[in-house]
Amino acid sequence: MKVLVLGSGQLARMMALASAPLNIEIIAYDVNNQNVVHPLTQQLINLSLEQAIDDVTVITAEFEHIPHDILDICSQSGKFQPNPDAIKAGGDRRLEKALLDNAKVSNAKYHIINTKEDFLNAIDIVGLPMVLKSALGGYDGKGQWRLKEHDQVNQVWNEMEELIKSSPNQAMVAEQFIPFNREVSLIGARNKNGDMVTYPLTENVHVDGVLALSTALEGTSELQQQADKMFSAIADELNYIGVLAIEFFDVNGQLLVNEIAPRVHNSGHWTQQGTDVCQFEMHIRAVCNLPLNGTELLRSTAMINILGEDSLPKNILTMPNCHVHWYGKEKRAGRKMGHINVCASSSENLQKELATLSTILDNDAFPVLA
Ligand code: ATP
Ligand code: MG
C-alpha cells in the first residue's frame, strides 16, 4: 500500500519510518515548493500532485496549514483522511472554537476580533488579562499578544491591526487568560468504524512558547477519563479518522481544551519508545483502516526537543535508555531539529535518568533540564 502525506517535514518522515515494517510506503508532498518527495531523503519523485494522488490508496496530512485549494483537490479524490473540515478547524482558531462549543467541551471564553470596536467589546466579554491569538497561521506561540491592563490597548491594537491587514482572511481571537497549574495533552486515534484508542496523558513544559519536555503521565485515571471523554466528543463531532491531538490546561484537576491538532503531535513523540504502537504507526493504521491497539504505557518515558542544535555529545549513546531521533534538517536558531526519548523502569528512575542526561547535555541548549 502507498500513502501520500501533505507536508514533508519530520512528521511525514516519522510516519515513513513507522510504516515501512508494515510494507506501507509513504511519499510526501511539499506544499511550499509543490514537489513530491521521498520523506526521508527529500529526494525528488518525478510525479505531479495529480499523478501522486492517482498513485496512492490513501492521502493524509502532517500539518493543518495547507492551502485550501490543495486540500480540495485531494479530498475530491475520495482518498483523503481525516475529513478536510478537521484540517481546516485545526488551521483556523475561529472554526476551532466553534467546534469545541459544538462538541460541548470546556474551553476558555473568547471573542472574535476584526475591528478595534470588536477588541473593546472583547475586553468586556472576556475580561482581563486576556490572550490574543491570530486566527490563521499561529504555531509555537507565534502571532500572540497578552493584554493585562487597559492602558496597553492602543499599542496592542496597532500591532494586531498590522497582522490582521497582512492577509485577507486574518482576524484575532481574544481568549480569557487561564491560570493553569500545568499543561497536558492527549493523543488518540479514531477509525472509520468509530473505534477509538487514546494514549496516556502527557504533561508538557514549554520554554519561550515552544514545547521543550513531554512526560507520559502515570496513575492519573480521573484526569485521563476527563480527557478521553472530551477526545471522543471532539472526534465524533468531526467524524474523525486518524490521529488527533488535544492540548489542555489543567486547572486544579479540571481540564479545559486549549487547542486541537488534526494530526500526529510533538507531545506524542514519546510513544515511539513508551508504547507498542507509536502515534505515527497509529495514524497510518487509522487512515488505512487497520486495527487500532497498543497504546498502553510500557515504561516511564519522556521526550526532550532538540532545538537549534545539529549535534549532541557522543556520550549520550552511553545511556542505552536514551533514544535520539534526528530529523535531517538544516540547522537554524530555535528550529526543531530532533528529539530525545528517555525511558526508565519507574517514574522515579526516569527523573534520575533526566538528571544524568542534563550532566551530558549543554545546559544553555537544554534549559528545561537545567
Ligand atoms: P503550539 O504550536 O506550541 O501548540 P500555538 O501557537 O498553537 O502553540 P497555543 O498552544 O494556543 O499556541 O498557545 C501557546 C502557549 O501559550 C500555550 O501552550 C500556553 O502556555 C499559553 N496560552 C495559550 N492560551 C492561553 C490562555 N488562554 N491562558 C493562559 N495561557 C495560554
Ligand atoms: Mg499549542
Q: Domains in the chain, please, with CATH?
A: 2-80 (3.40.50.20), 109-176 (3.30.1490.20), 182-360 (3.30.470.20)
Distances (CA, A) of 357 to 28, 341, 354: 34, 11, 5
Q: Strand (E) positions, the chain?
A: 2-6, 25-30, 35-37, 44-45, 58-61, 110-113, 130-134, 144-147, 172-176, 182-190, 196-198, 202-207, 210-216, 242-251, 254-261, 300-307, 322-326, 336-344
pLDDT digits (tens, 9 = 90+) for 312-329: 999 999 999 999 999 999
Residues 6+ apart with CB under 8 A from 203: 182, 183, 184, 214, 215, 217
Mean pLDDT on 204-210: 94
Does pLDDT of 150 surpass 90? yes
pLDDT digits (tens, 9 = 90+) for 297-311: 999 999 999 999 999
The number of beta carbons lying within 10 Å of the beta carbon of residue 135 is 24
* Nearest residue by C-alpha to atom 9 in ligand 1: 141
**Is residue 178 annotated as involved in ligand binding?**
yes
Q: How far is the CA of 265 from the centre of ligand 1 (A)?
A: 14
* Ligand 1 atom nearest to CA at 204: 18
pLDDT digits (tens, 9 = 90+) for 162-202: 999 999 999 999 999 999 999 999 999 999 999 999 999 99
Q: What is the pLDDT of residue 237?
A: 97
Mean pLDDT on 83-100: 96
Does pLDDT of 79 surpass 90? yes
Mean pLDDT on 26-50: 97
DSSP per-residue string spanning 158-178? HHHHHHHHHSTT--EEEEEPP
Q: What is the pLDDT of residue 141?
A: 83
Q: What is the pLDDT of residue 253?
A: 97
Q: What is the pLDDT of residue 142?
A: 87
Grid coordinates of 99? 467546534
* 64 Cβ inside 6 Å of ligand 1: no
Q: What is the pLDDT of residue 138?
A: 84
Q: How far is the CA of 141 from the centre of ligand 2 (A)?
A: 7
Q: How far is the CA of 267 from the centre of ligand 2 (A)?
A: 10
Q: How far is the CA of 248 from the centre of ligand 2 (A)?
A: 9
- Phi, psi dihedrals of residue 10, rounded to the nearest 5°: -65, -25
* 183 Cβ inside 6 Å of ligand 1: yes
With bands split at pLDDT 50, 70 and 90, how would you rate the model's confidence at 211? very high
Q: What is the pLDDT of residue 310?
A: 97
Average model confidence (pLDDT) for the chain?
97
CA distance 125 to 111: 7
Higher pLDDT, 143 or 214: 214
**Is residue 76 annotated as involved in ligand binding?**
no
β-bridge mates for residue 175, sequence order? 110, 131
pLDDT digits (tens, 9 = 90+) for 244-277: 999 999 999 999 999 999 999 999 999 999 999 9
* Nearest residue by C-alpha to atom 27 in ligand 1: 177
Q: What is the pLDDT of residue 196?
A: 98
β-bridge mates for residue 320, sequence order? none
Q: What is the pLDDT of residue 140?
A: 82
CA distance 8 to 23: 20
Half-sphere exposure of 170 (CA within 13 A, CB side): 15
CA distance 2 to 91: 26
* 137 Cβ inside 6 Å of ligand 1: no
Q: How far is the CA of 87 from the centre of ligand 1 (A)?
A: 19
Mapped onto helix, strand or coil, the DSSP state of residue 317 is: helix
β-bridge mates for residue 134, sequence order? 172
Q: What is the pLDDT of residue 139?
A: 84
**Spatial CA neighbour of 190 closest among 100, 101, 272, 282:** 282
* Ligand 1 atom nearest to CA at 247: 10
